[in-house]
């Protein structure tokens, strides 16, 4: 009887393995939970990020003549382009979004490929938000410039979502989204961010240090953390290149 019982146990154990190789079958409930979490995370971002992009856009000048006169190497020129009529709302919404996304990633880290990297990125962004918070009359433009990257993130998620749904004209829509995605990836992550890190923000910091009489001030966070974010963008760009 003992041998028969052991035999039945062995059969049950073998039936719970994949291919009889001793590897447990993944629990379907757990897999579905991760899939639902990923879908919910994408949905959250597809609602929140476009709203942040709109809030960003309405804070910039709409006069084409002013943009034509922009001097991109001068932070004062960027500052003049920033109207900031809804800056407080934009800053608060950005902070709430980052905190909610951190909570989501901490609870369900597998909803993204590299939750540790994204959490590190979000932590850096939260520190960056201290600059426009502590100097709202002079550094709202920095918030606006850095948050342009969310337009690319929106396109990234939209591009991924398009892979899983079918509808008439999908090929054209996907081509447009992909083109905008790559254009904004290069323009924002690989051009704008390095430009801010090397040219615009360091000049702003040095002038702020001269005004404050100290090289230790909150504006130092702008060039320092922008260098870190630029490095992350470069790392992600290498991953994107390798995916082709």
Alpha carbons 151 and 195: distance in angstroms, whole number: 18
Cα gap 64→104, rounded to integer Å: 40
What's the pLDDT score for residue 86? Answer: 97
Q: Across residues 122-149, what is the average pLDDT?
A: 96
Mean pLDDT of 25-52: 78
pLDDT over 70 (residue 11): no
Q: Is the pLDDT of residue 17 over 90?
A: no
**What pTM was estimated for this model as a whole?**
0.84
CA torsion angle 147 152 156 161 (round to 10): 80
Alpha-carbon span 225 to 121, nearest angstrom:
10
Q: What span, in angstroms and rounded, lies between the C-alpha atoms of 235 and 113?
A: 14
Q: Which residue has the higher pLDDT, 58 or 117?
A: 58
- By the 10 Å C-beta count (0-12 exposed, 13-18 middle, 19+ buried), 52 is classed as buried
pLDDT of residue 240: 92
């Amino acid at each position: 009887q003992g041998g028969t019982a052991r035999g039945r146990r062995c059969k049950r154990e073998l039936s719970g393995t994949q291919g009889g190789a001793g590897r447990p079958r993944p629990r379907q409930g757990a897999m579905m939970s991760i899939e639902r979490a990923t879908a919910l995370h994408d949905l959250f971002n597809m609602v929140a990020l476009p709203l942040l992009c709109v809030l960003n856009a309405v804070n910039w000048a709409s006069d084409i003549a002013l943009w034509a006169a922009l001097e991109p190497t001068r932070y004062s020129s960027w500052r003049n382009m920033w109207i900031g009529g809804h800056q407080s709302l934009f800053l608060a919404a950005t902070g709430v979004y980052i905190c909610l996304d951190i909570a989501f990633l901490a609870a369900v880290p597998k909803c993204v490929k590299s939750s540790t990297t994204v959490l590190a990125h979000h932590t850096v962004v939260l520190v960056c938000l201290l600059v426009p918070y502590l100097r709202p009359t002079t550094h709202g433009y920095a918030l606006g410039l850095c948050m342009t990257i969310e337009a690319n993130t929106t396109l990234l998620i939209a591009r991924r979502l398009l892979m899983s749904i079918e509808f008439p004209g999908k090929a054209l829509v996907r081509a447009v989204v992909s083109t905008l995605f790559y254009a904004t990836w290069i323009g924002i992550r690989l051009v704008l961010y390095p430009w801010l890190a090397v040219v615009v923000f360091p000049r702003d910091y040095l002038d702020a240090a001269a005004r404050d009489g100290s090289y230790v001030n909150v504006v130092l966070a702008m060039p320092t953390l922008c260098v870190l974010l630029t490095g992350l963008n470069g790392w992600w760009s290498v991953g994107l290149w390798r995916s082709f």
